[in-house]
Amino acid sequence: MVRDPNPKTGRAMPSVVVKIGTSSVTDAEGGVDAAVLGAVAADVVDLRGSGWSVVVVTSGAITAGWAEVGAGRPRPRDAVTLQAVSAVGQPLLMQAWRRAFAALGAPVGQVLLAPLDFSHRGQYLHARDTLTALAGLGVVAVVNENDAVADEEIRFGDNDRLAALVANLVAATHLVLLTDTAGLLTADPRVDKGATLIEEVRAFDADLEARAGSSRSGVGSGGMASKVAAAKMASWSGVTTVIAPARVEHALAHALSGEPGVGTVVRPRAARLSARKSWIAFAVPSRGRVAVNEGARRALEEEGRSLLPVGVTAVEGEFAEGDAVEVVAPDGAVVAKGLARVGASEFASAGVVVVHRDDLVLLRRG
């Protein structure tokens, strides 16, 4: 779903990826909350009617599945059982989304994505083509992790990160993360009653990221930390992010309205990454590390050069040509990420370039 220009103005049409978390799409018993889905669907249909392109990223399959088969037992923790439970919950969740949109005359299509769909460039572009085709057919894409096979994502992933990756994939202008809080707060309201809403974020620092904690609800895999990380990813891709409450009237419309005090707005960086470099920075998993000396660090960060063999002091990991690697400065900081042009076992006979600057993303700029 690459944004098509408006034929009247020539400008790109606005587009949004909206992600709704587990605690918002499910009720106290773990079942799907039809009222919340109906409200989100109504906002989506209204936005589409006013010229927006919209992709929905949904959580809740595991929780809905366990409500169906758990018989009141404690939620399991092992990956195999969670995979099985997600297979039960996925059709329940999609049926609920289908009903919500059908009441408004809008068809929906399910898109299940796994890490492989983002880590391999060809599969990444294929996923984008699928979403583009659905948009062309007038279908609302409802995206979720393919939890039934992606055990690594169940243990380490979350749909906030997935939503940020999808926002980059479809070249969205906005990312909205609907959650069970008012937005990013100055402190955890469970322990600090004086916590207040941070209305706008223009830059990320350690203090801001430290304000985010773990999942408050206990039923989701994310939490505010994952939302801040997702917003940071989106910011680098030139996407405006809004972290806003889900259980308010016209939640999505309010999040995109620009009204002060409605959630936390995270502004995009002035120097955005290209789509390909965003893919390298955030979608491709790192397979190893390359330590460099100070001269190489300066050449990369200050002079915009490629990484040459002479600047490499150590190699860690079993990566092959074309794999992503992190570049580590002498002080231990990760300063860049790029696609290696030689494998880990070939450094002794490496040619002119280890990582070309066209395949390199600097991670400490801006």
CATH code for residues 15-276: 3.40.1160.10
Which residues, in sequence order, are bridge partners of residue 12? 5
CA 170 to chain centroid, in Å, comes to: 12
Return the higher-pLDDT residue of 173 and 151: 173
pLDDT of residue 188: 75
pLDDT of residue 4: 44
pLDDT of residue 105: 97
pLDDT of residue 9 exceeding 70, the answer is: no
Nearest to 75 by CA among 153, 142, 22: 22
pLDDT of residue 185: 87
In the structure, what pLDDT confidence band is assigned to residue 147 with cuts at 50, 70 and 90? confident
The tens digit of pLDDT for each residue in 50-69 reads 999 999 999 999 999 999 99
Query: pLDDT over 70 for what percent of the chain?
Result: 89
Kindly calculate the radius of gyration of the chain based on its CA atoms and give it in whole angstroms: 21
Q: Is the dihedral of CA 166, 168, 170, 174 positive or negative?
A: positive
pLDDT of residue 213: 56
Mean pLDDT value of segment 109-116? 90
Contact, 319 vs 343, CB < 8 A?
yes
The residue type found at 233 is M
Mean pLDDT value of segment 29-49? 95
pLDDT of residue 114 exceeding 80, the answer is: yes
Which residues, in sequence order, are bridge partners of residue 266? 201, 241
Which residues lie closer than 8 Å to 354 by C-beta, 6 or more apart?
A: 290, 306, 307, 308, 309, 312, 340, 341, 342, 347
What is the rounded distance in angstroms from the CA atom of residue 339 to the CA atom of residue 332?
Answer: 20
Name the least confident of 24-28, 146-150, 211-215, 286-290: 211-215
pLDDT of residue 191 exceeding 90, the answer is: no
Domain boundaries, the chain: 15-276, 285-362
pLDDT of residue 5: 41
Neighbours of 158 (CB within 10 A): 24
What is the rounded distance in angstroms from the CA atom of residue 165 to the CA atom of residue 127?
Answer: 11
pLDDT of residue 98 exceeding 50, the answer is: yes
Mean pLDDT value of segment 145-150? 74
pTM above threshold 0.75: yes
- Fold designation for 285-362: 2.30.130
The tens digit of pLDDT for each residue in 340-351 reads 999 998 876 667
pLDDT of residue 171: 92
